[in-house]
């Protein structure tokens, strides 16, 4: 059972390693979006410090959504996806592997990059740590929920915009508790509850979304 997950992850990572530009573009997009905010709002340090968690989280949401198109589209185009649907291995496990690989090449780099933003926006040591922790727990949820949207819009015209319309409202809880954790840490309140809830969302998503994605894939490819 674990074998198929590991094999899918390795395959997708190998593919990502051969198309480095795709992976780097997502990260670059994340950096550029966050950089635009001080330019629009002004360089007032206190204001920027207050909005930094929300800005970083919203940018992470957008970057995750932009990268969703890559999740199934290439496999769909070259027929690999149909082979996966026909395979004797359980489809939810394959989906879980693909979502994990997607997170490893998008969510994880974003999380590491957010350390830099913690410094740039003059967040304290603890706040930066909480920001990283919240992204570490929350960004896999973005990949998993996003996979449902990506599977539903597979092969549709204007799929990219449509995916974001479908998926963004579902990202609301993750955004609230992700940015909320950092806000709580900044105002000296306990942030444990936020991180625990993010962890709960992660478990919830790991258990449920692969089934929804599998169903959506079978609908889209049939």
Partner 1 sequence: MTMNTATAPARFGLFWFSSPQTFFPLAGRMIPWFIALTVVLLAIGLWIAFFVAPTDATQGESYRIIFIHVPTAWMSMFLYVVMAFWAAVGLIFNTRLSSMMASAIAPTGALMTFLALWTGALWGRPTWGTYWVWDARLTSELILLFLYLGFLALQAAIDDKRRADKAGAVLALVGVVNIPIIYFSVQWWNTLHQGASVSLTRSPSMATTMLWGMLVMALAFWMYSIAAVLHRVRTIILEREKRADWVRELLAEGRLK
Site of interaction with partner 1 (CB under 8 A): 148, 152-153, 156-159, 162, 165-166, 168-170, 172-173, 176-177, 180, 183-184, 197, 201, 208, 212, 215-216, 219-220, 222
Comparison of 30 and 201: residue with beta carbon closer to partner 1: 201
Comparison of 41 and 161: residue with beta carbon closer to partner 1: 161
Q: How far is the CB of 212 from partner 1 (least distance, A)?
A: 6
Comparison of 120 and 168: residue with beta carbon closer to partner 1: 168
Comparison of 43 and 158: residue with beta carbon closer to partner 1: 158
168: CB partners within 8 A, 6+ apart: 61, 65
Comparison of 32 and 189: residue with beta carbon closer to partner 1: 189
Task: Kindly state the tokens that stand for 8.
Answer: 């899918």
Backbone phi and psi for residue 25, each to the nearest 5 degrees, phi listed first: -60, -40
Distance CA 216, CA 222 (A): 10
Q: How far is the CB of 169 from partner 1 (least distance, A)?
A: 4
Q: How far is the CB of 200 from partner 1 (least distance, A)?
A: 10
Could you tell me if 123 and 186 are in contact, meaning their C-beta atoms sit under 8 angstroms apart?
A: yes
Could you tell me if 106 and 63 are in contact, meaning their C-beta atoms sit under 8 angstroms apart?
A: yes
Sign of CA dihedral 9, 14, 15, 21: positive
Q: How far is the CB of 62 from partner 1 (least distance, A)?
A: 16
Q: How far is the CB of 151 from partner 1 (least distance, A)?
A: 8
How many residues are recorded in the chain? 222
Distance CA 183, CA 54 (A): 9
Distance CA 135, CA 179 (A): 9
């Amino acid at each position: 059972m674990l074998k198929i997950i590991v094999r899918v992850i390795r395959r997708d990572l190998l593919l990502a390693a051969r198309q480095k530009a795709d992976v780097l573009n997502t990260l670059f997009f994340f950096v550029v979006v966050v950089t635009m905010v001080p330019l629009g709002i002004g360089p007032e340090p206190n204001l920027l410090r207050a909005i930094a968690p929300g800005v970083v989280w919203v940018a992470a949401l957008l970057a995750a959504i932009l990268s969703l198109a890559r999740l199934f589209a290439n496999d769909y185009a070259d027929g690999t996806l149909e082979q996966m649907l026909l395979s004797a291995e359980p489809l939810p496990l394959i989906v879980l592997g693909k979502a994990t690989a997607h997170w490893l090449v998008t969510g994880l780099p974003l999380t590491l990059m957010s350390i830099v933003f913690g410094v740039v926006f003059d967040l304290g040591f603890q706040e930066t740590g909480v920001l990283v922790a919240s992204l570490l727990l929350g960004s896999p949820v973005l990949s998993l929920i996003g996979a449902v949207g990506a599977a539903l819009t597979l092969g549709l015209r204007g799929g990219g915009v449509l995916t974001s319309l479908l998926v963004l409202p579902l990202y609301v809880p993750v955004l609230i508790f992700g940015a909320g954790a950092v806000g709580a840490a900044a105002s000296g309140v306990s942030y444990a509850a936020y991180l625990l809830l993010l962890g709960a969302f992660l478990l919830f998503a790991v258990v449920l979304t692969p089934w929804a994605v599998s169903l959506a894939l079978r609908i889209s490819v049939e």
